[in-house]
Structure 1
Amino acid sequence: MSAIIRRAEPADAEALALVGRATFLETYAGQLPAADILAHCARQHAPELYAAWLASAGHRLWIAEAREGAAPVGYAVLGPPDLPVPTSGEDVEIKRIYLLHRFQGQGLGAGLMRACLDGAREAGFGRALLGVFGRNEAAIGFYRRQGFALAGERKFQVGASVYDDFVLARPL
């Protein structure tokens, strides 16, 4: 595969929103109520949210494309931590690391993770945190292989429903 990972730019906001919605639907269709998925995607995967993150000095975003100039297939977002565990100025959160299912298992997820961890180190952070749905065993396994360990738990709202998430952390 000739996929590439690059820093996202302001013009990528729509593409990031599209991939966010597609991967969320692909991952949770059949597990979560449709109305909850649609409400979550409308709010948490709106192009305006990605545009705001892209304009923020506190966020870094990367986008994965099937090949240079091709359709987006994944992305990652690094930003200030907003998790219910003790944090310090040394901490940063991987807010999203999403990859379309058919592109998983080819090294792109690990590449997006490397981009986040390298970006966090370059910015002077000492620990990376993330939240993951407590029943998403594939994602939890991936994060454990990347060196993350349990740091806490949180409640996460999707639409009208609340779910149990794990908060994972790893030193940089």
Structure 2
Amino acid sequence: MNQYTVLGRKIPTEAMPNPEIFKMTIFAQNEMVAESRFWVYLNQLQKIKRTHGQTVSVQQVIEEESTVKNYGIQLRFRDQIGHHNMYREARETTAARAMAKMYSEMAGQYHCRYQDIQIIKFEVIANFEDIRRQKIVMMTPHAINEEHNHEVKFPHPFAQNPVKRAAKSMRFAKKIPVIEV
């Protein structure tokens, strides 16, 4: 998942020689998908089709992965029942990783595909008090450094028992067939 900034506008005409330029931040797998999603949203919001518009630029936004940030994502998605609004939070190093995590969670919990999800608002949550989700609050350094949270444990979600060597080696024992004459 990558973050792209897409600029587009209507094709200039004699009546409108300098049409308004629209800018969107799109999260997609590649430039082609980002441009396609841009025209889908522009058609919905401004009634400008791809055939009557031109793409000015598509640029990938590359963030540095220095610190972990809390992201708030307001989205709208479609499932078997209808359309729903939702607010989700993610704790990641970059915006693209936070969005990839959100798309993965939505696919797992709500069976939503990429094209069924529309991002309404995406922001970095700066203040600790503005975080709404308890699981995100527990992961922040502010919460871990408090007196009552020193015993916070992070168990491995898919713990497996180690295989013992003796049992493993005896599973398929070599046996020479005996021929009786």
Query: By the TM > 0.5 criterion, same fold?
Result: no
More helix by share: 1
With the length of structure 1 as denominator, give the TM-score of the two structures: 0.25
With the length of structure 2 as denominator, give the TM-score of the two structures: 0.24
> For the pair shown, which has the larger CA radius of gyration, 1 or 2?
2
